[in-house]
Amino acid sequence: MSQKFEILPLKQELLVNLSALEFALMTPIQAQSLPALLEGRDVTAQAKTGSGKTAAFGLCILNSLELPSNNLHSLILCPTRELAEQVASEIRMLARTYQNTKVLTLCGGASESLQQRSLASGAHIVVGTPGRVLHHLSRKSLILDSLKVFTLDEADRMLDMGFYEDIIKIVDCLPKKRQTLLFSATYPEHIKLLSSEIQNNALEIKTDITHEADNIEQLFFEVQPSEDKNNFLYKLLCMHRPDRAIVFCRTKKDTNDIAKFLSNRHIYAESLNGDLEQSERTEVLEKFSNRSLSILVATDVAARGLDIEDLAAVINFNMPTDAESYVHRIGRTGRAGKKGMVFSFFNAIEQDKLKEIEHLTLKDCIIRDTSKLTYTKKYDLVPPMQTMFISGGKKDKLRPGDIVGALVGEAKIDANHIGNIAIKNSFSYVAIKSESIEQAIQKLSRARIKKKKFKVGFA
């Protein structure tokens, strides 16, 4: 059966945009879910990270969007601010050929009054976290009477984080007649119960649950309580020299301690955990995604939903709580046919977890002796990019082209030295090759962008 998007009853504007984005073929989750989604059916779908599920429910939402109506059409709930921003960004990308489509994020760490004003002017699609969405519902600044599609993304993580009651309170505010979509990386019993409560005759789809074993090298190292696990981590980095890696830890303290340990060895590492302010989290993630940072040390909750291209390695400093969480972690690497590496430290009492992983992945866990880890060469990789901060963003009507124009025209930076540009509401981040970053900051701090003066510096 053909896997081309053209076989689906999608609006022509969406098909044109998909072609421009070079989305030629559907992924398995898209091929299996989109026919039912476009028919308006409730769907419960389980798929691994990076499988294309955001595009699946995004296309469903956009295809049923009625423009130029300014009514709220869809609400998408996500467990974290980072995932909400990521989902909103992808929806906007898919909606490029729809004029004046407004996608609004409602998350903590941002101005409530600004969000209220945005809601007052109308939004077609709202992407938010349960707490902030409930807050706006209680203030009557968010009205769901016209809603047509309700989506839970990473539903399993939302339940793990204790959002069940908040979700039910939000569902109570929804119209009875609606399409409800539930997407999840894992499918535990409480997901089935939630589906039965909020969905109507939902079609269950499971695909891409495990990752292609050939793409990911997975090695396990047993560590004794008396041994220095930090030292083993450093040896792993020295031996395999990944240009970027995520180190997963159990606690916020672990993330901070390990990031400090690596930084003291001149490794570009930073922590990502729930104690960071939103602006700090945004900055760390931008630096990691635009290749200004080598190692991200994170907890599961903080890293949930991250979509980083070409991630070389995942390191489980602490084993996850269960096999499905392990599969979710390793899904950060080995994407789109690329090779990836996964290294996991475990102790003697965690042997049963390895058996669970073998059962779920249908692959034997390869255990290596930590004595094989040696300092073959110092891990001294310097990220190819550094990140520049600009004190202007969407509210200043800045666009990527404006920033590139100023860098090339005013700062005399080679266009090939300019990397990712992320424009937020009131500020922007720009990745610049390390050899050009100082010139870019020095020149641009004295120049203007769109005839305006902005503060410029290192992120």
SS3 (DSSP) at 332: coil
> Tokens 């090759």 label which residue?
433
Per-residue pLDDT band for 417 (boundaries 50, 70, 90) equals: very high
Residue 50 has pLDDT above 80, yes or no: no
Residue 224 has pLDDT above 90, yes or no: yes
- E-strand spans in 59-133? 74-77, 103-106, 125-128
Question: Which residues neighbour 6 within 8 Å (Cβ) at sequence distance 6 or greater?
Answer: 15
**Structure tokens that stand for 179 in this block:** 């399409």
Give 318-351 pLDDT, tens digit per residue: 999 888 788 888 888 887 678 899 999 999 999 9
pTM of the entire structure?
0.73
141 within 8 A of 164, measured Cβ to Cβ: no
Residue 152 has pLDDT above 80, yes or no: yes
Per-residue pLDDT band for 2 (boundaries 50, 70, 90) equals: low
Tell me, what's the pLDDT at 1? 47
Tell me, what's the pLDDT at 339? 87
CA distances for 415 relative to 393, 435, 452, angstroms: 20, 13, 21
User: Mean pLDDT in the chain?
Assistant: 91
> Tokens 């600009």 label which residue?
390
According to DSSP, the residues that pair with 122 across neighbouring strands are none
What distance in Å separates the CA atoms of residue 119 and residue 92, rounded to the nearest whole number? 17
What distance in Å separates the CA atoms of residue 129 and residue 80, rounded to the nearest whole number? 6
Could you tell me how many residues make up the chain?
Answer: 459
Tell me, what's the pLDDT at 49? 67
For residues 290-312, average pLDDT = 84
Nearest one of 302, 326, 299 to 83, comparing CA atoms:
302
Per-residue pLDDT band for 362 (boundaries 50, 70, 90) equals: confident
87 within 8 A of 127, measured Cβ to Cβ: yes
Give 237-246 pLDDT, tens digit per residue: 999 999 999 9
What is the rounded (10 degree) CA torsion for 268, 273, 279, 283? Answer: 20
Residue-range domains of the chain with CATH: 5-206 (3.40.50.300), 213-372 (3.40.50.300), 385-458 (3.30.70.330)
Give 19-41 pLDDT, tens digit per residue: 988 888 998 899 999 999 999 99
Give 182-215 pLDDT, tens digit per residue: 998 777 788 889 999 999 999 999 875 555 556 8
Per-residue pLDDT band for 178 (boundaries 50, 70, 90) equals: very high
Can you say how many angstroms the Cα of residue 237 is from the centroid of all Cα atoms in its chain? 24
What distance in Å separates the CA atoms of residue 46 and residue 33, rounded to the nearest whole number? 10
Give 61-109 pLDDT, tens digit per residue: 999 998 888 899 999 999 988 889 889 999 999 999 888 899 999 998 7
Tell me, what's the pLDDT at 281? 85
